Amino acid sequence: MRFFDRFGKWIIRFLTEMGAMALLFYNAFIYIFRPPYRLRNLSKQMESVGVGSIPVVLITATFTGMVLALQGYTGFKRFNAEGLVGTVVALSMTRELGPVLTGLIVAGRAGAAMAAELGTMKVTEQVDALATLAVNPIQYLVTPRFIAGIVMLPLLTVFSDFIGIAGGYLISVNLLGANAGAYLQRTTQYLEMEDIFGGLLKAAVFGGIIAGVSCYKGFQADGGAEGVGRATTGAVVVSEMLILISNYFVTAFLRS
């Protein structure tokens, strides 16, 4: 009996949380189209999510491209298909690794920062202060972060794709002795716009998830520093889980 009681409570709490999160997503989206448009606030968030993430994306994408080339070469060499390494690196980066790795990195970096900042604002009553000054906290705090996530994730992914392919080229041509012209030709030969745009659509979805979940968790923070810590951890874990789960569904949607 106690099991059913606990399970029931867990289900109710889960559904309540999902509903509250969906409501926050909805409101953040609706406020995109309602004035006032705080461009300074928006550009600050874009800089924080986008420009601030460039160094980590650069390092991750470079080494991912490099390791893909090494592993691809090892595998393809077994059936004399080393020439396909460029194609595999390009397709892997644009369709999957570029958006997913960028999403996971931004969730860990910018998502954690969003949850910690909003969580601190919540526990120090700055969110309430905004409301008492007749400013809607969702419009002022969440909407700019939501837009920044949706816009900057695809841009970071383009950067990540390019850097990853460059990393693969570097290893293939300089270390594994591939012909530079042939490698580049194989890189572009089978790469279609659909591959790139599919990856960018995923990135936009991930950007929305990161911003929405992180802001929600920040707004739920209570109980001082410990609460902010819990909100930050929760934001990263839930964002990353949702990125991996939604990745499958977006991929399935794009295939259909």
Partner 1 sequence: MIELRNVYKSFNSHHVLRGVNLKIEAGEGVVVIGGSGTGKSVILKHVIGLIRPDKGEVIIDGQNLADLSEGELSHFRKRFGMLFQGAALFDSLSVWENIGFVLKEHSRLPKEAIMEIVKAKLAMVGLRGIEDKMPADLSGGMKKRVGLARAIAMNPKIILYDEPTTGLDPIMSDVINNLIAQMNQNLSVTSLTITHDMKSAYKIANKIAMLYHGEILEVGTPTQIQNSKNPVIQQFINGSSEGPIRVD
- In the complex, minimum distance from the CB of residue 131 to partner 1, in angstroms, rounded to a whole number: 6
Q: Is 252 in the site for partner 1 (CB under 8 A)?
A: no
230 Cβ contact list (under 8 Å, min separation 6): 221
Residue keyed to tokens 């911003």: 211
Tell me the C-alpha distance between 129 and 181, whole Å. 61
Task: Tell which one of 11, 15, 23, 135 touches partner 1 (CB under 8 A).
Answer: 135
Determine contact, residues 72/84, Cβ cutoff 8 Å: yes
Residue range at the interface with partner 1 (CB under 8 A); choices 56-64, 133-141, 208-216, 244-252? 133-141
Task: Tell which one of 22, 131, 225, 245 touches partner 1 (CB under 8 A).
Answer: 131
- In the complex, minimum distance from the CB of residue 199 to partner 1, in angstroms, rounded to a whole number: 33
Q: Is 129 in the site for partner 1 (CB under 8 A)?
A: yes
Residue numbers 101-120 binding partner 1 by CB under 8 A: 120
How far is CA 241 from each of CA 85, 91, 209, 244, 248, rounded to the nearest angstrom? 30, 23, 10, 5, 11
| Token pair listed for 5 | 């009681």
Task: Tell which one of 39, 133, 193, 252 touches partner 1 (CB under 8 A).
Answer: 133
Q: Is 126 in the site for partner 1 (CB under 8 A)?
A: yes
- In the complex, minimum distance from the CB of residue 40 to partner 1, in angstroms, rounded to a whole number: 10
Amino acid symbol at 140 = Y
Q: How many residues make contact with partner 1 (CB under 8 A)?
A: 15
Task: Tell which one of 1, 5, 36, 79 touches partner 1 (CB under 8 A).
Answer: 36
How far is CA 118 from each of CA 107, 108, 141, 193, 248, rounded to the nearest angstrom? 15, 16, 8, 38, 30
Q: Is 35 in the site for partner 1 (CB under 8 A)?
A: no
Residue range at the interface with partner 1 (CB under 8 A); choices 5-13, 134-142, 153-161, 225-233? 134-142
Tell me the C-alpha distance between 191 and 199, whole Å. 12
Closer of 87 and 232 to partner 1 (Cβ): 232
Task: Tell which one of 39, 134, 193, 252 touches partner 1 (CB under 8 A).
Answer: 134
Q: Is 84 exposed, middle or buried (0-12, 13-18, 19+ CB in 10 A)?
A: middle
Q: What is the residue-wise DSSP string for 24-62?
A: HHHHHHHGGGSS---HHHHHHHHHHHTGGGHHHHHHHHH
Q: Is 39 in the site for partner 1 (CB under 8 A)?
A: no
Which residue ranges make up the site for partner 1 (CB under 8 A)? 36, 120-121, 124-126, 128-136
